[in-house]
Amino acid sequence: MYPYLLRRLALIPPTLLGILLLNFAIIQAAPGGPIEQVMAQMGGIDSMSSTRMDSSAASEVSRSDDSSYRGSQGIDAQFIAELEQQFGFDKPVHERFFLMVGNYLRFDLGESFFRGRSVGELILEKMPVSISLGLWSTLLIYLISIPLGIRKAITHGSRFDVWTSSVVIVGYAIPGFLFAILLIVLFAGGSYLDWFPLRGLTSDNFHELSLFGKIVDYFWHLTLPVLAMTISGFATLTLLTKNSFLDEIHKQYVLTARAKGATDRQVLYGHVFRNAMLIIIAGMPAALVSIFFTGSLLIEVIFSLDGLGLLGFEAVVQRDYPVVFGTLYLFTLIGLLLKLISDLTYMLIDPRIDFSSREQ
């Protein structure tokens, strides 16, 4: 086990480096950098439209010696040079990349180009919103999916299995952001009821409320976004749980246990449960990273929640490279560590798994 663990830990740095290098190359090739964003704002051009300029125009903008273009924009060449030095673009591309990697090794994520704050501070500030969405939606998904999947496996082919499968498929077919819009129309003052707030995670008078009032206000604001994230998430896990348990129920050891006089409950929770849960545990790290850090992007935008998803979206639009690469580095590292933890959890659930023989 320990050699396997050491090998997996040794693979994390080159994996991180490869992911950063690939994304760094893609970002550098994309039209419209931070300097172009500043020039567009100074020229009265909308930043969103400036990022959609064609490649030839973008290449003309990014040339440091193109004084005619800058002159047409009314921006002094000396000012452009100062911007390049401020953003670090006066250095060669490879030097900027290795400088960034060196800072990340010290967990120095850099300073935002446009927010005047460190990337670490921004992440810590936005994280409570994304954790709130991810925590409660993940909890709901697992509380619904696992019992429902087990029940569907036990009653496979029954009316309950058929109609719940129809509901699950419909839920899977509806994207979370469309369901979010439907909830707003129905329950947030759209066209019918006005039961829930449309913006923010708390009310303006949150600090004036009692402890009980704060709890009620918090969940009142969370209800619609969490439901929107849950509706499409529980479908996949439900079908995965059902198929996993259904596969284990038909194995020989289950028939042997029943032949020895074990009850259905003893067979299900004493033998089948641990084996069937392995595949669910294997997908847990990816689900956690997706729900906590990336899955809430559109939900945060629709409900005006200032979390990590919205931060990443705005950073990409503004070409705020330190925020883009800082969040990418941190979330990739967390994902790799969670994947390693899930592999080690296999052994706790099923001691028959031998990591050493698996590597041979």
pLDDT for res 89: 77
pLDDT for res 120: 87
pLDDT digits (tens, 9 = 90+) for 75-112: 667 767 776 776 777 788 888 888 888 888 888 888 88
pLDDT for res 268: 82
Reported pTM: 0.71
pLDDT for res 31: 74
pLDDT for res 14: 92
Domains of the chain with CATH codes: 31-105 (no CATH), 119-359 (1.10.3720.10)
Query: What is the number of H-type helices and E-type strands within the chain?
Result: 19, 0
pLDDT digits (tens, 9 = 90+) for 289-334: 666 655 567 788 888 788 887 788 888 888 888 888 888 888 888 8
Q: Which residues pair with 188 in a beta bridge?
A: 194
- CB contact set of 192 (below 8 Å; sequence gap of 6+): 185, 186
Instruction: Report CA-CA distances (Å) from 341 to 64, 101, 258, 282, 302.
Output: 47, 25, 34, 10, 33
- Axis crossing angle, helix 176-187 with helix 211-249, rounded to the nearest 10: 140
Residues of the chain with pLDDT under 70: 1, 37, 40-76, 79, 83, 86, 190, 232, 282-283, 285-296, 346-360
pLDDT digits (tens, 9 = 90+) for 197-209: 877 778 878 888 8
DSSP letter (8 states) at residue 36:
H
